[in-house]
Amino acid sequence: MKYKSKQEFLDSVVNKYSDQKEFHQAVEEVIHSIWDNASNNEEYCKFNILDRIVVPDRTIIFRVPWMDDKNNVHVNLGYRIQFNSAIGPYKGGLRFHPNVNLGILKFLAFEQVFKNSLTGLNLGGGKGGSNFDPKGKSDKEIMSFCYAFMNELHRHIGRRTDIPAGDIGVGAKEIGYMFGQYKKIRNAFTGVLTGKGTKWGGSLIRPEATGYGLVYFVLEMMKTRKDSLKGKTVTLSGSGNVAQFACEKLIELGAKPVTLSDSSGFIHDPNGLTQEKIEYVKKLKSVRSARISEYAKKYNVEYYKGKRPWSIQCDIALPCATENELNLDEAKQLTDNGCYVVAEGANMPSTTNAVHHFINQKILYGPGKAANAGGVAISGIEMSQNSTRIPLSRDKVDNLLKEIMQRVHSTCVQYGDKGDFINYVDGANIGGFVRVADSMIDQGIV
Ligand code: NDP
């Protein structure tokens, strides 16, 4: 083994990419789980898998010039990180948010490699996006930006190479504009993006998949303790795609979601959200600059400006907004108040210390790369429908989603069962890693 210790390896990553703190965090979490497995395996050492797995296949950074409604010209940075293609073409979302930078996208792409592996599908890992802020932009400006972004991105993607999807700031509308521009430039109607409209190649249940899949994963975790969702109080952060559909499925299965948030604050509805209230949130949040505080006015509930929802008593907490949105103090507050299930709809929402707290407390803690894998899984199913040109019914896709989430869960149990509790972090990291590492060895030094 080239490195004397785990820390020496981690230091080497930090030294190489000193300004990418979110990437260090994601690498540290994975390496912590896989170190024994990787450093004691002769083949993994011989093929230097550890050094290779933390370096992307390629990183593409480009200029995105576009014009606003007042004819001012702006320039944003566009990115695509093609991280690992050992088990399939690169797959992962595009994020449009002002805080996007290389470190954030590398952490997301790295996580995606293991997440995609866990689904059991043939999907490699990638991620991309831009520091463009869609908030406050007109429809025409968003369309101009999406066209400009695709003017460069189209060279690097393709249905057999790299198939992007949505993420924060990129929903059905943006995917539509980017698909339109790809088709125009390449004169090809192919499944090059997922999350498409269902009239033109999108899969039923894709918009719902991450949120529904998250709740299916929670159900599987609870079954290990012969528990169910009925009557459970649930706090959620976020109010976008993932949070909305997680709420919908929670209500259907008899749980009571009581909070939603955005980057301005959170609402607490002690009577619980209903389907009607979720429909209101979907409509409200279809305008990206709309604030969740409007919910509090409409339904006469408390709004907490600038705060996060983790102080509210609950049985289950589902962070569904963004990275590092739940810290150690908040983790302690949650468990002190009786919360015993935390599952991540967002990617890396819990800080490293918060994760350690959940594991030390032996609660049911499902990390994002397992718990939110439903979205990419159904993107994979969208790709197969595009290839066969045979659309699947809603029921069929929903059943596939349940099956895949059960598979992700059983892989976590296989690699994370510690006897008295299941360490889902170890389970997800080792389960995801082994498949990718073995495939890299099969393919030699490439
Ligand atoms: P949306 O853009 O639909 O919604 C994002 C939500 O998170 C909004 O409520 C937004 O509030 C909030 N948010 C964004 N940034 C911050 C911030 N810095 N602080 C507080 N709140 C913030 O995105 P999604 O629902 O699609 O994604 C949410 C999370 O789920 C992300 O971590 C994403 O990577 C992850 N994910 C998404 C998948 C998908 O299929 N969509 C798949 C797997 C993971 P505001 O309106 O104020 O910006």
> What is the per-residue pLDDT across 411-433, written as a single tens digit (0 to 9) for each?
999 999 999 999 999 999 999 99
Residues 16 and 114 in one domain: no
Among 115, 127, 137, 232, the one annotated catalytic: 127
> Which of 162, 132, 159, 138 is closest to 64 using CA atoms?
132
Mean pLDDT along residues 84-94: 98
Residue closest by Cα to atom 42 of ligand 1: 375
| Statement: residue 2 has pLDDT above 90 | no
- The Cα diameter of the chain in Å comes to 64
State the chain's mean pLDDT as an integer: 98
The residue with tokens 């043939």 is 122
Residues 22 and 70 in one domain: no
Ligand 1 pocket check for 164: Cβ under 6 Å: no
Residues 27 and 63 in one domain: no
Quote the pLDDT of residue 208: 98
Residues 246 and 364 in one domain: yes
Ligand 1 pocket check for 321: Cβ under 6 Å: yes
| Statement: residue 89 has pLDDT above 90 | yes
Nearest-atom index, ligand 1, CA of 285: 46
| Statement: residue 1 has pLDDT above 80 | no
| Statement: residue 38 has pLDDT above 90 | yes
Nearest-atom index, ligand 1, CA of 239: 9
Residues 150 and 256 in one domain: no
Amino acid at position 200, single letter: W
Mean pLDDT along residues 188-193: 97
> What is the per-residue pLDDT across 196-244, written as a single tens digit (0 to 9) for each?
999 999 999 999 999 999 999 999 999 999 999 999 999 999 999 999 9
Q: Which domain holds residue 167?
A: 58-189
Considering the domain boundaries, does residue 404 fall inside one? Answer: no
- Mark 303-334 as b/e (b = at least 16 C-beta within 10 Å): bbeeebbbbbebbbbbbbbbbbbbbeebbebb
Considering the domain boundaries, does residue 161 fall inside one? Answer: yes
Can you tell me the distance from the alpha carbon of 443 to that of 446, in angstroms, rounded to the nearest whole number? 7
Considering the domain boundaries, does residue 402 fall inside one? Answer: no
Can you tell me the distance from the alpha carbon of 174 to that of 181, in angstroms, rounded to the nearest whole number? 11
Can you tell me the distance from the alpha carbon of 119 to that of 92, in angstroms, rounded to the nearest whole number? 13
Quote the pLDDT of residue 355: 98
Q: Which two tokens stand for residue 388?
A: 């066969």
Considering the domain boundaries, does residue 202 fall inside one? Answer: no
Quote the pLDDT of residue 295: 98
* 3-state SS track over 181-240: HHHHHHCCCCCCCCCCCHHHCCCCCHHHHHHHHHHHHHHHHHHCCCCCCCCCEEEECCCC
C-alpha neighbours within 13 Å on the C-beta side of residue 31? 23
Residues 63 and 44 in one domain: no
| Statement: residue 288 has pLDDT above 90 | no
Which helix (H) or strand (E) segment is 113 a member of?
helix 102-118
Task: Compute CA distances 74 → 95, 145, 148, 164, 308, whole Å.
Answer: 18, 10, 11, 24, 33
Whole-structure pTM over 0.75, yes or no?
yes
**At 312, which CATH number?**
3.40.50.720
Considering the domain boundaries, does residue 140 fall inside one? Answer: yes
Considering the domain boundaries, does residue 177 fall inside one? Answer: yes
Residue closest by Cα to atom 35 of ligand 1: 346
Percent of the chain with pLDDT over 70: 100
Residues 82 and 125 in one domain: yes
Domain count of the chain?
3
SS3 of the chain: helix, strand, coil, percent, to 5: 50, 15, 35
**Which of 127, 154, 189 is the endpoint of a domain?**
189
Nearest-atom index, ligand 1, CA of 262: 11
Residue 337 binned pLDDT confidence (cut-offs 50, 70, 90): very high
**Which of 143, 158, 189 is the endpoint of a domain?**
189
Residue 445 binned pLDDT confidence (cut-offs 50, 70, 90): very high
> What is the per-residue pLDDT across 127-164, written as a single tens digit (0 to 9) for each?
999 999 999 999 999 999 999 999 999 999 999 999 99
Measure 164 CA to ligand 1 centroid, in angstroms.
17
CA 256 to centroid of chain Cα atoms: 23
Q: Which two tokens stand for residue 441?
A: 């060895």
Considering the domain boundaries, does residue 295 fall inside one? Answer: yes
The SS3 of residue 443 is coil
Q: Clarify whether 137 is annotated catalytic.
A: no
Can you tell me the distance from the alpha carbon of 271 to that of 318, in angstroms, rounded to the nearest whole number? 18
Residue 269 binned pLDDT confidence (cut-offs 50, 70, 90): very high
Measure 169 CA to ligand 1 centroid, in angstroms.
7
Amino acid at position 41, single letter: N
> Which of 257, 203, 237, 262 is closest to 391 using CA atoms?
203
**Which of 154, 189, 224 is the endpoint of a domain?**
189
Considering the domain boundaries, does residue 427 fall inside one? Answer: no
Residues 154 and 216 in one domain: no
Percent of the chain with pLDDT over 90: 99
Report residue 224: phi and psi, to 5°. -65, -20
Residues 45 and 159 in one domain: no
Report residue 391: phi and psi, to 5°. -75, 145
Residue 446 binned pLDDT confidence (cut-offs 50, 70, 90): very high
User: What burial class does residue 289 get, using C-beta atoms within 10 Å of its C-beta: 0-12 exposed, 13-18 middle, 19+ buried?
Assistant: exposed
Quote the pLDDT of residue 350: 98
Mean pLDDT along residues 246-261: 98
CB 423 within 8 A of CB 36: no
Quote the pLDDT of residue 257: 98
Residue 166 binned pLDDT confidence (cut-offs 50, 70, 90): very high
Residues 118 and 176 in one domain: yes
Residues 337 and 222 in one domain: yes
Residues 14 and 92 in one domain: no
> What is the per-residue pLDDT across 391-404, written as a single tens digit (0 to 9) for each?
999 999 999 999 99
